[in-house]
Amino acid sequence: MNLLEQLRQMTVVVADTGDILAIEKFTPRDATTNPSLITAAAQMKEYQPIVDETLRKVKADLGSGATSREIVSLAVDRLAVAFGLKILQIIPGRVSTEVDARLSYDTAATVQKARDLIAQYEAGGVGRDRVLIKIASTWEGIRAAEILEKEGIHCNLTLLFGFHQAIACAEAGVTLISPFVGRILDWYKKKTGRAAYPGPEDPGVISVTKIYNYYKKFGYPTEVMGASFRNIGEIIELAGCDLLTISPALLQELQNTEGELQRKLDPAIAATLDIEKVAMDEATFRKMHAADEMASEKLDEGIKGFTKALETLEGLLTQRLARLEGAETLTHAAEELFHVYDLDGDGIITREEWLGTDAVFDALDANHDGKVTPEDMGAGLGVVLHLAKAN
């Protein structure tokens, strides 16, 4: 068996992508998305119908008085859910959908946003048991997750880099955490100037292993899902972890690689380890966070990164909405103009009926049959306006 097949025997494999075609190819149990992945997918030609349909529906729901900003703001959430619903048609498990990163330090706003997202999924016929709400692992985000979990809304705490974050999440009864293996490695490489780390020495691998063993030692049900991998060596060292969310490129590399895969993380072994339990409260959390330079920097960087991705997506949706509104305006104008010149109302404008210049008629009459149809008018309205100005 290849490494991917063997990994699936000991770890739940999750696809870290918003690309529906990639998910169909690798058939993971679960899938995760984030603002960066949704933004990337939204720019792919094959997913433009999802984007356009979402924008049109939001515009219709909000009514004619809605501003572009209001439409786009709601469309961002609707689009994340739209991709989630498509993904859930393919996978048997759960999809993770992220709360606006700009709410990371606002417990109440995070809770409300999560409830809104779940309501949209339920309106789409999907129960809350198949959705994980992704929230940044700030103290405020963890508190929001604690409230949501008690309501039956399951959470995936993301942007997790420090041991203190993991402990606080477990104490809050969070369903799942996503420690970022590769981003931890990135920080240490930059800090030390070291070009590479062997798998067992990889700081991200060491961090996830420590968290996994702590959870299993003390019987926390919170699942550990390693994320943000830079190479398959990191994945190999975390074989046996509850879940691993992996990009399509690394899934392909695992699928193409033969060899024996050994289980590295095991709850039975973790239970035998001598580990000290840490009491966690807000003061301890903030003290440990301030002392952890890597976790502090990477959490802040991650929130800013996801915020930038959201703003990029909002910009893309604003542009797309303008094009859609322009197309609708153009279509309406073409219909009105056609009726003005279709004097006998037979659905065709002949040269005799045309009251404009010959140059404009010739531009509209694409097949040169001496007749202009409504379709010709719609397609050529831009030419009409241009030549009309010229004349």
Q: How far apart are CA 6 and CA 3, in angstroms?
A: 5
Structure tokens at 128: 């809350």
Closest alpha carbon to 153 in 134, 169, 167: 134
Active-site pick, 45, 57, 113, 134? 134
Structure tokens at 286: 């903030």
Give the helix ranges, DSSP H, for 12-67. 20-26, 35-42, 48-62
Active site residue 134: yes
Q: For the stretch 6-29, what's the b/e string if a residue is b when 16 or more beta carbons lie within 10 angstroms of its beta carbon?
A: bbeeebbbbbbbbbbebbeebebe
Q: For CA atoms 314, 318, 324, 325, give the dihedral sign.
A: positive
Q: How far apart are CA 55 and CA 72, in angstroms?
A: 7
Q: How far apart are CA 234 and CA 232, in angstroms?
A: 5
Q: Hey, which residues are catalytic here? A: 134
